[in-house]
Amino acid sequence: MNKIKISETGEVDIKSVENLSKDELKQWIECRLHGKDIQAPMDFRQGDSPYYIISLLYPKLNRSVREDIRDIILDFVKEMARNEKSHWTEEAGHQLLLLVNSLHLDEAAGFLVEMAESKRFFEKDALSLMENLHYRILQTIVALDYRNLRPEFWYEQIRLASNRSDKYIGVAFDGLTLISLRYAIHLLTEINGDEAEDLVFASFPYLVDKYDINRVAPLVEEYLPKMKPTVRATIQSFFADEGYPLKYQEKPDYAGIRNVLKDLLYTLTGENIYNLQTQCARI
Query: Where in the chain are the domains?
Result: 1-142, 147-251, 252-283
Residue 7 DSSP one-character state: -
The DSSP result for 210-243, as a single string, is HH-HHHHHHHHHHHGGGS-HHHHHHHHHHHHHTT
Tell me what pLDDT residue 162 has.
83
Rounded to the nearest 10 degrees, what angle do helices 133-143 and 90-103 cross at?
A: 0
Tell me what pLDDT residue 143 has.
97
Residue 107 DSSP one-character state: G
Q: Whole-angstrom Cα distance, residue 211 to residue 208? A: 5
Tell me what pLDDT residue 45 has.
38
Q: Whole-angstrom Cα distance, residue 78 to residue 100? A: 12
**Pick from 124, 73, 71: nearest CA to 97:** 73
**Pick from 108, 111, 105: nearest CA to 82:** 111
**What residues pair up with 12 in beta bridges, in sequence order?**
6
> Which amino acid is residue 71, in one-letter code?
D
Q: Tens digits of per-residue pLDDT, 99-122?
A: 999 999 999 999 999 999 999 999
**Pick from 215, 126, 227: nearest CA to 168:** 126
Regions of the chain with pLDDT less than 70: 41-47, 127-130, 165-166, 250-283
Tell me what pLDDT residue 241 has.
94
Cβ neighbours for 203, distance < 8 A, ≥ 6 positions apart: 170, 173, 174, 177
Q: Tens digits of per-residue pLDDT, 44-65?
A: 434 578 999 999 999 999 999 9
Q: Are 172 and 149 in contact (CB under 8 A)?
A: no
Q: Whole-angstrom Cα distance, residue 207 to residue 244? A: 14
